[in-house]
Structures are given as structure tokens and as C-alpha cells.
Amino acid sequence: MNSEIHPQIRQLFQSADSFLIVSHIRPDGDAVGSLLGLGLALQEIGKKVQMVLVDGVPASFRHLPGASQITRKLKADYEAAIVVDASDLQRTGGVLIDRIPDLNIDHHITNLKFARINFVAPEVEATAAVLAENLENWGLQINEPVAKALLTGVVSDTIGFRTSNVRSRTLRLAADLMDKGANLSELYNRALIRRSYEAARFWGKGLERLQRENRLVWTTLTLIDRQKSSYPGNDDADLVNILASIDENDISVIFVEQKDNHVKVSWRAQTGWDVSQLALGFGGGGHPAASGADIIGPLSEVQEKVLSATRQLIQKGPAEKNKFFGNPRGEPPDLGVSHGKSH
């Protein structure tokens, strides 16, 4: 990381009086936790902060301090724009319109570095962890509400410290946040364990369609499934992580039908596999073990193309043996699809 970037960020936080902070569509715990953690820390030094998520705050995270401040639309003017936990501007849902953000803080390996200042750390487990490690370097403090938000982000993106990128320093960081007042067991339960009755019914629809071919597992959730189960979100209610836990499975894929003729696709991969470039080829992005994309087209067509490309990746073997589809530069192929907003 460029040593000059820390002074640039400190200067931005000191010089601007009002901020807009946004994150990605269909926000997860890292998006919400990073947004709140940074927003509340800036408020503590007297800054005016608007926090915007176009899809709102999922029920699992509405208990967090400050969550009620998050709106779906921009309500006032601002001096500085910050994007957290989003690999490209499309993922923010158009809040910024054509403005170039002042600061981009992220940990996705596929980040396009679209801001004036880009602090991207793909080696770090979560964007919330990036913030927890650096807020004090940037002249901000981590009090109890900030610690709760950031620990939620870390717990969520590591699926309870279970992802392969978790290191001893991850646990030390979590311990530091606990020392500042964050209750790990409560936040863990809220983020990862508890589910609504409607979400459980939605899972049932997807599990009924579960399919496996060799070491590839996939399923589909339709708009009708969502309606029949009364599930209020437009995501998969984290069912993809259940698929990823199936034994003798290298890659899991879930297709979630959306309105306006597009499909949300999520991949999960076991250690050694890299699905991030596969997702990038469909206009999305993410991490080697967890990526996604929004793909324009009818469900059946999108499913056929995605499964075909995923089968090709499996045939090539794990990431250690092959770069994406044998391309030595790791570049995604032209898959012949139309891209929507990436996941």
C-alpha cells in the first residue's frame, strides 16, 4: 500500500464537513458494518454524514447502533463521497450518478479502483477489518457503536471465522473490538444464526431443486418462490452458504431470479479454487472463494451459460494449477452475455 495514502485520507476526513457514504446493492453484513463503522466514527468528530443503501438495511442488521440513520436515497448535498465494500460503481445502485467518489475503501480482489483515492486491500478478510485496522491512523476513534458495526462486518464476511483467509491476526482484531464493547456472541447470532420464518421457507424452495453434477452443486430461487414464501428480500437469504457446506463439493452456484429480466448469480468455492475471474467474466466480481454477478437475461438462458462456464473451470482444475480457463494473464473470457449490476 502506498505510504502516501494515509495522509491523503486523513486530510480528506479533516477538510470536508459533510460526507456521503454508500455501499453495494443487496447489502451483506460487511457492507452494513463498514458503512456504519465509518459513518459513526466521522460523526464522532463532528462531521455531517449521510449513509445510503439503495436496498435498505436487512433485518439481520437493524439492531446495530445507527442503523436507523441509513436511508435508501440521498437527501442533502455533501462535500465528499466515500464508497465502502463495493468493487465497482455499478454496485452502489446509482446513488452517485456520474460523480467520481473521493475515496474507495474495499477488500475485493476485483476492485476497479474507481475513486480519486483508492484504499484496496484484497489480502484483508473484510472491508470492516480494513477499517478496524486503519481508522485510528486516519484520525478517527473506535468507540462501542463503531466496534459493534465493524465486528459484525468481520464475522459476516468470514462466515464466523470459517473462511480460508482467516489468520491469527483476524482473531486478535476481533478481540480488540470486543475490548471496545462489541459482544461477539450476540453479533454472531444475529448475523449468522437467526433467520426469519419466511427466509426458512424460501430456503425450502431452493433445497427442493438442489442438483449435483460431479463436484458442482447448484439450485435456483424464482420470483414465484419469493412470493409464495413471503420473503421480503431480493437475495438468497444466505442459502448459498448452506450449499457451500455440502460434502464432496468444489463449487456451488445459486441463481436468484430478479425483476426486469435479470438473474443474481452467486458462486462459492472450496480452498484452491478461484471463482472471482469467472464472475468478472459475467460483469461481476468478488473473492476467489466467494463471488457473484447480476446477469441480464431469462433465468433458463443465464443458468445454461453460467453452468457451462463453471463446468469449464472445474475441468481445468484448481487455481494453483491453472489460471482462468488456461489464460496465463488470468483474464476472463468473452462469455457472450449481457451484464447487469455486479454482485
Nearest Cα neighbor of 132 from 29, 41, 9, 14 is 41
CATH (domain of 262): 3.10.310.30
Contacts made by residues 118-122, CB under 8 angstroms, sequence distance 24+: 119/1, 119/5, 119/9, 121/1, 122/287
Instruction: Give 212's strand partners.
Output: 217
- Tell me which residues of the chain have a pLDDT lower than 70: 1-3, 319-343
CATH (domain of 49): 3.90.1640.10
Residue 332 pLDDT? 39
Residue 2 pLDDT? 60
Number of independent structural domains in the chain: 2
Report helix, strand or coil for 268: strand
Q: Are residues 144 and 251 in the same domain?
A: no
Residue 128 pLDDT? 98
Q: Are residues 84 and 137 in the same domain?
A: yes
CA–CA distances in Å: residue 182 to residues 31, 32, 68, 179: 18, 16, 19, 7
Q: Are residues 15 and 118 in the same domain?
A: yes
Segment 314-331, tens digit of pLDDT: 999 886 544 443 332 233
Residue 334 pLDDT? 40
CA–CA distances in Å: residue 61 to residues 157, 228, 234, 295: 14, 24, 16, 27
Q: How far apart are CA 258 and CA 265, in angstroms?
A: 10
pTM of the model: 0.85
Q: Are residues 29 and 158 in the same domain?
A: yes
